[in-house]
Amino acid sequence: MQIPEVFAKPQRALAHADKVMRELLLDKIRVDEVFKGRKLVAIKVHIGERGNRTYVHPTYVAAAVNLLRNLGCEVFVTDTTTLYVGPRNNGVSCARVAYENGFTPETIGAPFIVADGILGEDGVNYRFEKVGLTISIARAIHEADALLVISHAKGHGMSGFGGALKNLAMGCVTKNTKKYQHDPYKPILIRPELCDGCGECVKACLQEAVYLSNGRPVFRDELCIRCGGCIIRCPTKALSGAEGA
C-alpha cells in the first residue's frame, strides 16, 4: 500500500492565508495539474459546531476557492448534516451554522451547499454485493467533477484520529451510511444480570431511542443513531456496543 503524503500547516497567520494555500495547493499538490479541465469542483470542509472554533478558518477556504476559480473551475463549498441531534442535523440548520461560522458566500467567494440535502438522505447509492452493503454518497459531492478536501485534525470515538480520511469517509455520505459506520456502538444489554433498572440509559438518550420495559432497556433501532451515550452512562456496565465498543 502506498502511504499518502500529508501536508499540514499551523493555522496561525490568517493574513498569510493566500500564501499558505498557494504553497500547499500549487507547489505541493499541484492542483493546476490535478484539477485541469475539471469544471465543477467541490471543496469539502468541516464547518465546525455552533460556537466552537476548531475548524479550518474560512479565510483559508476562500484562498483555495480563489485559486481554483483562477484555474477556470466552478467551485462550491460543502459539508453534510450530522447523524446526531444538534444544530447541524438538517440541511437548513447546517447551512445556518455554516454562515454563523463564517462560511458565507461573501467570505469564501463561493456558495455553501449542504451536500446531502434538507434531510441528510439525498445520496447516490453504491451496492457492494460481496459484502451485502449499500453506501450512499451525498449527492452534491457525487455530482462534482473533482473534490478538494480541507480538514482539521481531531479525535473521534470510532476512527481514533480524524483528518482527511474521516472527512471523506464519514463526511461525504448520507445519514444512513453514517449510521452503518457507527454500528459498533449499537447498544445491547450484554449483561442483563447487572441491570438494576435505574433508567440512566433512558436519560442519556437524546434520540428517545430507549425506554424501560419491566425494568429492562428496550432499544428502538429505527431511532438509535449509535452514539454510545447510553453505554457510557450505564453505571453497572450492563450495556455494550454490538462489536464490543
Query: What is the rounded CA–CA span in Å between residue 158 and residue 227?
Result: 10
**Site track 156-195 with ligand SF4 (rule: CB under 6 A), x = hit:** -----------------------------x-x-------x
Out of 209, 211, 214, 222, the residue judged to bind ligand SF4 by CB under 6 A: 209
Helices and strands: H and E segment counts in the chain: 10, 12
Q: Indicate whether 197 belongs to the interface with ligand SF4 (CB under 6 A).
A: yes
| Minimum CB–partner distance for residue 240 and ligand SF4 (Å) | 10
Verify binding: residue 238, ligand SF4, rule CB under 6 A: yes
Tell me how far apart the alpha carbons of residues 64 and 13 are, in angstroms, rounded to a whole number.
Answer: 15
One-letter amino acid identity for 8?
Answer: A
Which set of grid coordinates corresponds to residue 185?
456502538
| Interface pick for ligand SF4 out of 66, 93, 207, 240 (rule CB under 6 A) | 207
Q: Which stretch binds ligand SF4 (CB under 6 A): 44-52, 113-121, 141-149, 234-242?
A: 234-242
Q: Is 219 helix (H, G, I), strand (E, B) or coil?
A: strand
- N-to-C CA span, the chain: 28
Nearest CB to ligand SF4, comparing residues 168 and 189: 189
Closest residue by Cα to residue 84 from 178, 168, 152: 178
**Residue of 17, 67, 110, 234 that binds ligand SF4 (CB under 6 A):** 234
| 205 near ligand SF4, rule: CB under 6 A | yes
Q: Residue from 14, 199, 218, 243 that binds ligand SF4 (CB under 6 A)? A: 199
Cα angle at 92 between 86 and 95, to 5 degrees? 85
Give the shortest CB-191-to-ligand SF4 separation in angstroms: 9
Work out whether strand 40-44 and strand 74-79 pair parallel, antiparallel, or are unpaired.
parallel
What's the min distance (Å) between Cβ of 186 and ligand SF4? 7
If you ran DSSP here, which 8-state letter would residue 24 be given?
A: I
